[in-house]
Each structure stands twice: as structure tokens, then as C-alpha cells.
Amino acid sequence: MAGPARGNILISTEECKGCGLCVESCPPECLELLPELNAYGVHPARYTGDGCTGCGICFYCCPEPGAITVYRLSPPFKPIVEGDSHAAAL
């Protein structure tokens, strides 16, 4: 990937139903399904940690409210920390 990530996402492992829509829809292909099962007995999605642009497509295609939070990072781009004032959630 060229340049720093412009976005970051958090996925709630326990809200995710493992449908895989976010994985299929992510343009830079930076999401995947975990090999482990969650409490629903499905493989939840996770961010690989690299390449998110903050486009929000995964957020809009996810059928589970609250499963995905997308952050658009403002310069200087850096990994988010919960409550970071430089990160704006969709």
C-alpha cells in the first residue's frame, strides 16, 4: 500500500454475524474473517490493520447496527486510539 492509512475501523466481534459482506465489499481488501468462532458460532470479521481508506463502504453494507465503526483520520495520519480527537467516526 502506498502512503499511510487514511482510515481505521473497529469491529465488534460479538455484534458481527460473520456474513462476510464487509470483507467482499472492501475496495483495498483489508478485511478478513477470523478463524475463531464468536459467541454466535460464526467467524467474525476483522481489520487486517493495513490499508483502510476510511471510505465507509463496510459500514454501509453491514446489516448489524453497531458492528462496525469507521474512523476517517485527519493529518498527520496515525493509528487510532479510542477517544482520539484526530479521528472522526462516521
We find the least distance from the C-beta atom of residue 10 to ligand SF4, in angstroms, to be 10
Within 71-90, the residues that bind ligand SF4 by CB under 6 A are: none
Q: Among 80, 86, 70, which Cα is nearest to 30's?
A: 70
Q: Among 28, 26, 60, 27, which Cα is nearest to 45's?
A: 26
The one-letter amino acid at 59: F
Asked if residues 8 and 54 have their Cβ atoms less than 8 Å apart, the reply is yes
Is residue 57 within the footprint of ligand SF4 (CB under 6 A)?
Answer: yes
Place of cell 467516526: 89
Size of the site for ligand SF4 (CB under 6 A): 30
Is residue 16 within the footprint of ligand SF4 (CB under 6 A)?
Answer: yes
We find the least distance from the C-beta atom of residue 74 to ligand SF4, in angstroms, to be 15
Asked if residues 58 and 9 have their Cβ atoms less than 8 Å apart, the reply is yes
Residue ranges binding ligand SF4 (CB under 6 A): 7, 9, 11, 16-22, 26-28, 30-31, 44-45, 52-58, 61-62, 64, 67-68, 70
